[in-house]
Structure 1
Amino acid sequence: MTNAIRSHHTQDLDANADEVRPYRGRFAPSPTGPLHFGSLLCALASYLHAKQRNGEWLVRIEDIDTPRVEKDSPEKILSALQAHGLRWDLDIVFQSQRQHIYNTYLSKLEKANSLYACACTRSQIKLRSPSYDGYCRSAGLPFMGNSVRFIHTTNNSEFSDLFWGQQHINTSVAREDPVLRRADDIFCYHMAVVVDDIEQGITHIVRGGDLSEATPVQLSLYQALKEPTPRYMHIPMVVKRANVKLSKQRGAPAIDSTKAVDNLKLALAYLGMDRGAIAHLTTTAKILHWAIEHWQPKLMPKQSELLISIENDVYSAPQSM
């Protein structure tokens, strides 16, 4: 295991949380390729956390960036989840069908004077600063034909993570004014994910640690929209080597759904659970039943990255694990 990061708190902070709304979690993959091991780990962690708390677990397909969607990828992802026994509650939501909802929320932010149009290209921004510098904030440009940015003035660099404890994220990306809608009218990740989580009543978000940096901006969007914020848990990120996230874009192989039992056992080991205790279990249903009962987030390795071995498109734990 590499890159150990210690937080102020190591206990399961959710144990003492004052929950007001019924628990509702979700798994929200982008269909840019089939399900890989890192995605399975996030799906499994979010599923176990929801089911142990008698909550609902939803699945949402984040296909808002339609040019990047791989054909048949949504169906392959859903089929893989089912093969591993991860059954969702309620209907599947597809972001590509929700443009009108995002526009409604964008109008709310516009009325609150929380938006401005930006004509800057990426190359122009890089010439001025490593991150966006608010260049167009007072330019008064029209929204049509330009990207639309959120005025990110609220300081949410500090937040409580259910696994890591109190977090402080003060990177330039976490502070800048994010684009909510591109010039080509495609809504961006921050806008779509916050609106969908509001609309679906999501109370808990369990996701990969690579998205921790997105949390300050998303908390600010909740506040600007005057909506209750969810609880966040960011689990260690699976990498094939240090600082190289396992991803579809980097050619991560699809998990083999015919080996769902073995995949679940490996994933549970990465989540800190006793692999020996489930060695005798031979069905996904029995494994998940055991895992729901024994799930403890505090058992996960206190590391930002978890190394995975891949040989001939087969995932395995490194010998050092």
Structure 2
Amino acid sequence: MTIHRGRFAPSPSGRLHFGSLVAALGSWLFARAADGEWLVRVEDFDRERVVQGATEDILATLQAFGFQSDRPVIRQSERDAIYRAALERLRRQDLVYPCWCSRSDLAAAGGIHPPQCVAGPDPVRPPAWRLRVPDETIEFVDGVQGPQRQDLRREVGDFVVWRVEDTTAYQLAVVVDDDAQDVTAIVRGADLLDSTPRQILLQRLLGLPQPEYAHLPLALGADGRKLSKHDRALPVDASDPLPSLRAALQFLGQPAPHARNVRTLLSAALAAFDPGRIPRTTAAPAPFAALRKDVC
């Protein structure tokens, strides 16, 4: 019998904001509703984006909101050898190739890399490694957004799996880590919906199982853009979690009863959880008014 195993994978580029809380809550509800496990993974392989102390702050905030990983938290910064091994597997199968094309080189093609490189080898600058994308359409059914399909060759092109900085790219790292953690269901923000076909392709090429997917609506700021740590979006208040938790439940279309403490609220939310109530949209305004302390 397969155990439902979900995960929340924040990047420590700042403090936990409302959009991240929605992803954490949504993934936790899906996992707990299936009597499964909920894991936390810190996606800190991109050292330039890591803010000092952010990992510890995020983990402490999650705990204050009642979210505790069922397994030890893993950090991508400690898993370089595993990613290199996956790259080597792709290289041995001749599924990747070195590429010196820059973003400006690909601008004329809308950023999509053609079957042949635009730029030639650079003896000074190290290459990235790109996956040879086959001419096929990837299809899957998302647990929130419904049927999805993407023509990888036309819409994405050959994509980077190893960066010029000599470190893994996101698409490869997330596939390797989800398999290593035995993740069976990925619940995350809809900003990553477009990345899912690339990850499914990598899973197939590496002979890995394909998890189920559910992409939650993104929380938008007052300016209509996705809430982001980089934009210093207002962090949630770990000292007073109930208002933010109730707002996150409402954002996901779930009942948000009043409760005296986090444990009672999460218990009630889990008992009433209905994935069918989650809005089938990729983005919606964040309920900032509901985050005010005087509204809870």
- Moved segments of 4+, more than 3 Å: 127-130, 137-142, 169-174
Match of 2:212 in 1: 231
Deviation at 1:175, TM superposition (A): 2.6
Q: Give the drift of 1:169.
A: 3.5
Q: Is the aligned partner of 1:79 residue 2:60?
A: yes
What's the offset of the Cα at 1:128?
Answer: 4.5
**Other-structure match for 1:94:** 75
- Percent identity of equivalent pairs: 35
Q: Deviations over 1:150-199 (max 9, x none)?
A: 11216343211011221134487853211111122021100110000011
Matched, 1:258 2:239: yes
Distance 1:113 1:171 in 2: 18
Question: 2:145·2:281 contact (CA, 8 Å) conserved in 1?
Answer: no
Aligned partner of 2:279 in structure 1 is 301
Residues of 2 paired with 1:176 and 1:241: CA distance? 34
Residue 248 of structure 2: aligned partner? 267
Q: Of residues 104, 112, 118 in structure 2, which corresponds to 1:131?
A: 112
Separation of aligned partners in 2, 1:245 and 1:260: 22
In structure 1, how many angstroms separate the alpha carbons of the residues matched to 2:200 and 2:149?
13
Question: Using a 3 Å threshold, how does the CA distance of structure 1 residues 154 and 131 change in structure 2: closer, same or farther?
Answer: closer
Aligned to 1:14: none
Give the partner amino acid of 1:234.
Answer: H
Deviations 1:266-307 (A, max 9, x none): 1111111123xx12x111001111111111111012222110
1:61-101 CA distances to partner (integer Å, 9 max, x unpaired)? 00010111001000111011000001111101000000000
1:299–1:224 Cα change, 3 Å = same
Report the counterpart of residue 196 of structure 1 in structure 2: 177
Structure 1 residues 286-295 or 301-310, which shifts more? 301-310
Change (3 A) 1:148 1:285: same
Counterpart residue identity of residue 176, structure 1: G
Q: Per-residue deviation at 1:240?
A: 1.1
CA distance in 1, matches of 2:94, 2:119: 12
- State how far apart, in whole Å, the 2-side matches of 1:286 and 1:117 are: 54
Alignment of 1:26-41 (within 5 A): 26-41=7-22
How much does 1:21 deviate? 2.2
1:68 & 1:55 partners in 2: Cα distance?
32
Aligned residues: 291
Q: What is the alpha-carbon distance in structure 2 between the residues aligned to residue 215 and residue 137 of structure 1?
A: 26
| 1:251 alignment partner AA | R
RMSD of the TM alignment (CA)? 2.3
Is 2:230 the counterpart of 1:249? yes
Contact 1:119 1:146 in 2 (8 A): yes
**Per-residue deviation, residues 218-249 of structure 1 (Å, max 9, x unmatched):** 00000000111000000111101475111112
Q: SS of the counterpart of 1:136? A: coil
Change in 2 beyond 3 A, CA 1:173/1:51:
farther
Q: Does the CA-based 8 Å contact 2:106-2:118 persist in structure 1?
A: no
Larger relative CO (CA 8 A, sep 6+): 1 or 2? 1
Q: 1:109–1:225: 8 Å Cα contact kept in structure 2?
A: yes
Paired residue type of 1:246: L
Task: Describe how 1:11-30 pairs up with structure 2 within 5 A.
Answer: 21-30=2-11
In structure 2, runs of 5+ residues without a counterpart are none
Alignment-derived partner of residue 7 in structure 1? none
Partner of 1:291: 269
Gap runs ≥5 in structure 1: 1-19, 317-321
